[in-house]
Structure 1
Amino acid sequence: MKNVISRGFWIAVDQKDRVIGSIGLMKKTNEVFILKKFFVYSEYRGKELGIGKALFEILIEFAKQQGGRTVLLDTPSTADRSHQFYRKNGFKEIKKAELPVTYKYPDRNSLLFRLDLS
């Protein structure tokens, strides 16, 4: 995976410069950010390659550098593998009423998660 400098959106590319993953960060307030567009093609998933983890770590470091204290995300309720990744990396599932900011997300029985960066 090559490093790409970004202002809130990162991609992972393979040796042939084909996009194999992405992750984005949307700023809602000076302290609250939303994780967006986190995806890694199935053949590049898993801790052996570490593509998802690398993208996630870049995003978290960037959020902290920007003064972020909280990262939120929404994810389809059926995305069990994603839920495991988020929980393993410190996210806690929350209810809609617990969101510190409002934002639009697809209402597809999404689960909401929060990560405090302190």
Structure 2
Amino acid sequence: MAEIEIRPFADGDADDVLSVILPIQREEFGIDITADAQPDLRVIPDFYQSGKGQFWVAVKDGVIVGTVGLKDIGNNQAALRKMFVAAEVRGREYGVAARLLERLFDHARDAGLTDIFLGTTDKFVAAHRFYEKNGFVEVAKGALPRAFPLMAVDSKFYRYKVG
């Protein structure tokens, strides 16, 4: 089994990150979205790797196969964004999603964050199960902090209490 490395986003990763995320959004889930509609992905260091935020990539055989971002939204709270894992490395065998989330949780504890919020769409049913299994609890849209970066496609929201 090939080793999967989880590391922070680095200069030069931007195109590879898009090549993981866009096909999942567009082809698997039929969401009509472009790279231009996600400007945060062109400025990952400024958008995610500031304050208490960070952005990680999962790498297999030198190729990025997974992503997750943590956006500092102030008040010791953060938003989980852009969690994507390429189809060929999904599931327990590789544990890519679980390892990305574990790294994010470790960082959140070390950074002194108290809550992590996320928004997702109704279509991502497997993702809902994954988040719920990992301690996220569904919350109403009205329970989100004002600083939470709402996405038009999001219709389901979760909160994780960092312990």
TM-score of the pair, normalised by structure 2: 0.67
Structure 1 residue ranges without an equivalent (≥5): none
Whichever of the two has the greater Rg, that structure is 2
Aligned mate of 2:56, from 3, 6, 10: 10
Aligned mate of 1:38, from 83, 89, 96: 83
Q: How far has the Cα of 1:65 moved from its partner?
A: 0.7
Identify the residue that residue 94 of structure 1 maps to in structure 2.
139
Amino acid at match of 2:57: I
Structure 2 residue ranges without an equivalent (≥5): 10-48
Q: How far has the Cα of 1:28 moved from its partner?
A: 0.7
Q: How far has the Cα of 1:52 moved from its partner?
A: 0.6
Which structure shows the bigger proportion of residues in strand conformation?
Answer: 1
What is the CA deviation profile of residues 10-62 of structure 1, one whole-angstrom value per residue up to 9, with x for unaligned ones? 101111x1110000100011410100110000110001210110000001110
> Aligned equivalents of 2:151 and 2:64: distance in 1?
24
Q: How far has the Cα of 1:101 moved from its partner?
A: 3.3
Amino acid at match of 1:9: F
Q: How far has the Cα of 1:4 moved from its partner?
A: 1.7
Are 2:64 and 1:19 aligned? yes
What is the identity percentage for the equivalent residue pairs of Structure 1 and Structure 2? Answer: 32
> Aligned equivalents of 1:103 and 1:117: distance in 2?
17
Residues 66 and 95 of structure 1, relative CA distance in 2, 3 Å threshold: same
> Aligned equivalents of 2:88 and 2:126: distance in 1?
14
Q: SS of the counterpart of 1:2? A: strand
Please say if residues 66 and 96 of structure 2, whose CA atoms lie closer than 8 Å, have aligned partners that are also in contact: yes
Q: How far has the Cα of 1:99 moved from its partner?
A: 1.1
Are 2:97 and 1:52 aligned? yes
Amino acid at match of 1:115: Y
What is the CA deviation profile of residues 66-100 of structure 1, one whole-angstrom value per residue up to 9, with x for unaligned ones? 11010000001111000000000010111111113
The alignment's C-alpha RMSD in Å is 1.4
Please say if residues 6 and 100 of structure 2, whose CA atoms lie closer than 8 Å, have aligned partners that are also in contact: no
After the TM superposition, which segments of 4 or more aligned residues of structure 1 sit over 6 Å from their partners?
none
Amino acid at match of 1:12: A
Please say if residues 71 and 80 of structure 2, whose CA atoms lie closer than 8 Å, have aligned partners that are also in contact: yes
